[in-house]
Structures are given as structure tokens and as C-alpha cells.
Amino acid sequence: MPPSPPTSAASFKTPTLGVFAFSRLSGWQVVASVIALIVLIPVAVTFAAWLRPQGDIMGHLAEFVLPELLLNTLWLLLGVGVGVAVLGVSLAWLNAMCEFPGRAFFSWALLLPLAMPAYVLAFVLIGLLDFTGPVQTTLREIFGPLALPSIRSRGGVILVMSLALYPYVYLIARNAFQSQGRAAMEAAQSLGMNRWQGFFKVALPMARPWIAAGVALALMETLADFGTVSTFNYDTFTTGIYKAWFSLFSLPAASQLASILIVFVLVLALAEQRLRAPVKYNAVGRSGEHQRIRLSRGHAALAFAFSAAVFAAAFLVPMLQLLWWAKAAAVTDLDARYWSFFGHSLWLSGIGAITVALVALVLAYAARQRPSAFMQITQRIATVGYAIPGAVLAVGVFIPVAWIDEQLLTFFNASATQTAALTGLLKGTQFVVVLAYTIRFLAVGFAPLEAGLQRITKSTDDAARVLGCTSLALLWRVHLPILRPSLFAALALSFVDMMKEMPITLMTRPFGWDTLATRVFEMTSEGQWQQAALPSVAIVFAGLLPVIYLATRGEK
């Protein structure tokens, strides 16, 4: 998309991209670079697989597997990209700018699908809508044999992933529309635009970085997803990675494929960033005090029906199905252990979310202090973990950790023989879990914070500096209060994602540190989906609180 025409809100400025200006590295930039370097370690482990050529397997995959996978993956990205943008932006606009019955409820309820793992949504919707499900069975009983399109198809995967992932766009875009304020729309109307023109020519272009950030998160998660697509038996690049690893027994080939994925994501992210670099998106006027548009009765009914349909399909129906199953499973499975699963999940995700929010804030802030091409690349590298399939990233973290342990043990064994029984100092500790979570989910914290910082004018900074603020004081006293909604978004999004996270938790958790997500794994690995409903429901409930909190905070 080309840069939008200059409006009262978006003004051009000459790009000042001091390429690789090392001499001007500030403390912030050094810290940002260190963060990127830490993320680079597992990435480097993944790339190191190229040192062990897998010609035979790669040749086979390239000839018989990859062509279709690439096509499938591109369709999926396109479909989910359009799906989440349409759902997320339209719902965000309705909620931020319009008034209709039930809006106050939907404003937070539409975030709830965040807490629902996408593979659960997939399993439930396939169960309901496939040939053997109640919907088609009933239709057959009434109308006789029918040839209906299968839910287990490309369209079905796109539908489910769009329903599962639209909240990223909804949340971030809603913040954008709210902070734009009414002034921009009023200006547009005073220039003779109607509402539609105002929306497409002013509000939408002004919200572009936010929408792009939300869509980018959804697409990265789509690329890394394995659970949902394998429930559909829909082959994507990620299923190809796992095929190389689990079926063809070649972790190196899997890592090589993953590294191609990483390059693809970095190139896309940098291209997107370049496109929007020259435009500024500062807020005009005071935000949060706008009058909502009163919709006509017909339009209000439509807005209600649309919101209700999305809410029902993405959350209510799967939740009811889960509760039904969980009720049966609870009889045999629910006992005191669930307190510890619950506690472990909350603790690890809580510490993880706080770490992600802090690190993401530093990263976003560093870029703001001294924007440069170097910082752009640093940021993109630091946030690439979100697009790497979880199990591959888990190995990428585990290998260096095991290596460090080995060095430490060698060092300690020299002095103390009683530690001979020790097998590791780092691995199997919470530190490694939190480190791996941070590498994986930094993008989720970074996106809302980066978008939020863009809303703050440079003149605010200048004014504060004139008054003698240091950069830390500027952050603490000026930016943080404005950034509060973004910070809550970063915390809640990453928290919920960590609650649902499976492969990294499985690989790095300490002995006995089973969580709700690992409990889901225990059940689903032998296909006991109904049993898995119990921990799934617990994950959803634990995720609901931060989501609701976040939503009500975002309103203020």
C-alpha cells in the first residue's frame, strides 16, 4: 500500500536513516542490540543446520512436498490476512466509533477468543460441522443425502484461523481509532466527505501502522502454527518442517526449512516497515472524549448481529462444547493436582509476560530515541521468534543452554567432586522457561508498544527535555502514563499466549512443573480430546481475567 496522502494528521518528513551509525549508539541502542543478540542465538542454532547438508531429504521434499506446501501456505497467509483485517478492523471501528445495543458488552467480549487456543477452536468446529457432526447429520435426516462443502478444506482452515486470530487486529486497531479522536473525522466531514469516505480516506490510513501490526502478529502466528493446521490435515510450510523432523528423522533438514521461514519473515517485516517509515501518525486533539456515531435502527441491528455472530462462532459455541466435555472429564480427572497445574501456568506466564513487556518497552523505546536502519533491523531480528515453529525454537534455546551447562559443570567439577551427580545448572530451571518464552513472544509485547509510542508527538519529548527531563524520566513520567493501554495490551497478549504455549513449556519446564498446557498435551497426544477439555477450559478461564481487565482498561 502506498503512503497515504498528507492529511491534517499525517505529515511527511524526510527520512533520516543513518545506516549503521555505530558511532552514535546510545545506551538504549546498546541494550536493544543485546536483546537482538540473545534472540539471534537460537536463530543461529537453526541456521547452523546448513553445515550438515541434507541433500537427499531436501531433494525429496523440494520435488514432492514443498510445491504444494508453499501454495497452501501462501493461500493461508492471504486468506487469514484478509480475514483478520476485515473482522478486526470492522469490529474495532464499530466498537470505537459507533453506538449500538450490546456494544459495551461486545467491546470486551470480542477479545475473549484470545484465550481460546486455535487448535481447540479447530477441533470443536470440525466436530460440529464435518460430515459426522450434528449440523450435517440433522440436515441429512431432513433433506436426505447432501453434497455440502467440507469444513476440512482450505476455506475451513482460513475461517478458523481468522476467527481465532482477529482479536490481535481488533485490540490494536481499536486503540488506534480511539486515540485518533473525533477531530480527524470531523475535519474530513467538514471537507465534504461522507462517513464512508471519512473512514476509508482518513481513519483507515491513520490507523494503518496499528492494523499492520495486528495483521503481522496474526500472520506470524499463522506461519508458526502446527496444532490448528494438523487438526485439519492441511499441509503448510510448518507441517513440512515437522515432517522432516518427526517422519524423516532429520532435525537438520527441519532447521534448514525453519531458517528459510525466518528469512522470509524478516524480509517481509522490513519491507512493511520501509513502506510506512516516512509517515508520522501522531494524534491530533484530545483523545477519548469523542461522541460515538448513533447508528440508525437497521444499521444498529446489523452491527449487533455481526458482533454476535463473530462472538458466538469464535468463543461462545466452542466454549459451551468445551464445558460440556469438561463436565464429563472432571469426574475422573479433576483433583488437587489441578491447583499446581494452575499455579505453575499462572506463575510462568506471569513472570514471562512481565519480562516480555519490559524488554519490549526497552526495544520500542530505543528505536524511538534514535531511529535508524540499524535499529529497524535490530527490532525485526529481536521479534522474529514469534514466526518460528515452537518446537524448533525450543531446540534452538535448549542446545546452547545445554552447552553452557556443560562448560559450567566442567568448571565446577574441577573444584568440587560432590557435584558429580549434577547434570545441569541452567536447564530445567524456570530461568530457561522464561528466557525461551521471551524470545518466542517478544513480538506480541512489542507490537502494541511500538504502535502506542508512534502516537506520541516528538514535540512532547522536546517539551519535556526543555524542562530538564532525562530520557529515563521522560519514559517514566511522560510516556508511560500515555502508554498505559499499550502496556496492558502487551502484558495481556503475551500472558494469554504463554498460557497456551505447549512445545517450549514441554521442553524447558523443570521436573514436575506440569502446567495446564502440558496437561492438554498429555491428553491430545493420544487423541483424548474430550479429556483435554478440562485443562483447556482452565486455560480459557485463566486467560479471561487479563483479557477482561485489558479491555476495560483500554476503554479509559
Partner 1 sequence: MKRLTLGLVATAALAAAMSALAAPDTVVVYSARNEQLIKPLFDAYTKETGVVVKFITDKEGPLMARLKAEGANTPADVFMTVDAGNLWQAAEEGLLRPVKSATLNANIPANLRDPDDQWFGLSVRARTIVYNKKTVKPSDLSTYEDLATSKWKGRLCLRTSKKVYNQSLVAMMIHEHGQPKAAEIVTGWVRNLATAPFADDNSAMEAVAAGQCDVTLVNTYYYGRLIEAKPTLPIAIFWPNQASGMKDAGVHVNVSGAGVAKHAKNPAGAIALIEWLSSEKAQNLYADVNLEYPVNAKVKVDPTVAAWGTFKQNLLNVREAGRLQTTAVKLMDRIGYK
Strand partners, 12: 279
* CB of residue 248 to partner 1, shortest distance in Å: 5
What does the alpha-carbon distance between residue 68 and residue 337 come to, in Å, rounded to a whole number?
Answer: 44
Task: For residue 501, give the amino acid letter.
Answer: E
Q: Which is nearer to partner 1, 268 or 404 (CB)?
A: 404
Which residues between 30 and 59 bind partner 1 (CB under 8 A)? 57
- Residue 418, interface with partner 1 (CB under 8 A)? yes
Q: Which is nearer to partner 1, 14 or 247 (CB)?
A: 247
* CB of residue 44 to partner 1, shortest distance in Å: 15
* CB of residue 189 to partner 1, shortest distance in Å: 48
- Residue 377, interface with partner 1 (CB under 8 A)? no
Among 391, 443, 444, 492, binds partner 1 (CB under 8 A): 391
What does the alpha-carbon distance between residue 219 and residue 80 come to, in Å, rounded to a whole number?
Answer: 7
- Residue 239, interface with partner 1 (CB under 8 A)? yes
Nearest of 219, 214, 495, 269 to residue 379 by alpha carbon: 269
Cell of 510: 523443570
Strand partners, 294: 99
* CB of residue 136 to partner 1, shortest distance in Å: 9
Cell of 57: 531429504
Q: CB under 8 A: which stretch of 363-371, 390-398, 479-487, 533-541 binds partner 1? A: 390-398
One-character DSSP codes across 54-71: -HHHHHHIIIIIHHHHHH
Interface size with partner 1, residues (CB under 8 A)? 69
Query: On the CB side of 344, how many CA atoms lie within 13 Å of its CA?
Result: 24
- Residue 235, interface with partner 1 (CB under 8 A)? yes
* CB of residue 229 to partner 1, shortest distance in Å: 10
One-character DSSP codes across 225-272: --HHHHHTT---HHHHHHIIIIIS--HHHHHHHHHHHHHHHHHHHHHH
- Residue 233, interface with partner 1 (CB under 8 A)? yes
Polymer length of the chain: 556
Among 38, 260, 346, 506, binds partner 1 (CB under 8 A): 506
From the number of C-beta atoms within 10 Å of its C-beta (0-12, 13-18, 19+), residue 12 rates as exposed
Q: CB under 8 A: which stretch of 158-166, 181-189, 227-235, 366-374 binds partner 1? A: 227-235
- Residue 130, interface with partner 1 (CB under 8 A)? yes
Mark 306-319 as b/e (b = at least 16 C-beta within 10 Å): bbbebbebbbeebb
What does the alpha-carbon distance between residue 537 and residue 540 come to, in Å, rounded to a whole number?
Answer: 5
- Residue 137, interface with partner 1 (CB under 8 A)? yes
- Residue 358, interface with partner 1 (CB under 8 A)? yes
Among 181, 389, 428, 485, binds partner 1 (CB under 8 A): 428
- Residue 522, interface with partner 1 (CB under 8 A)? yes
Q: CB under 8 A: which stretch of 302-310, 311-319, 415-423, 470-478 binds partner 1? A: 415-423
Report CA-CA distances (Å) from 304 to 106, 292, 293, 315, 529.
9, 15, 15, 16, 33
Which residues sit at the interface with partner 1, rule CB under 8 A? Answer: 57, 60, 64-65, 126, 130-132, 137, 150, 152-153, 230-233, 235, 239, 242-243, 245-249, 251, 355, 358, 391, 394-395, 398-399, 402-403, 405-406, 409, 418-419, 421-431, 434, 503, 506-507, 509, 511-512, 514, 518, 521-523, 525-530
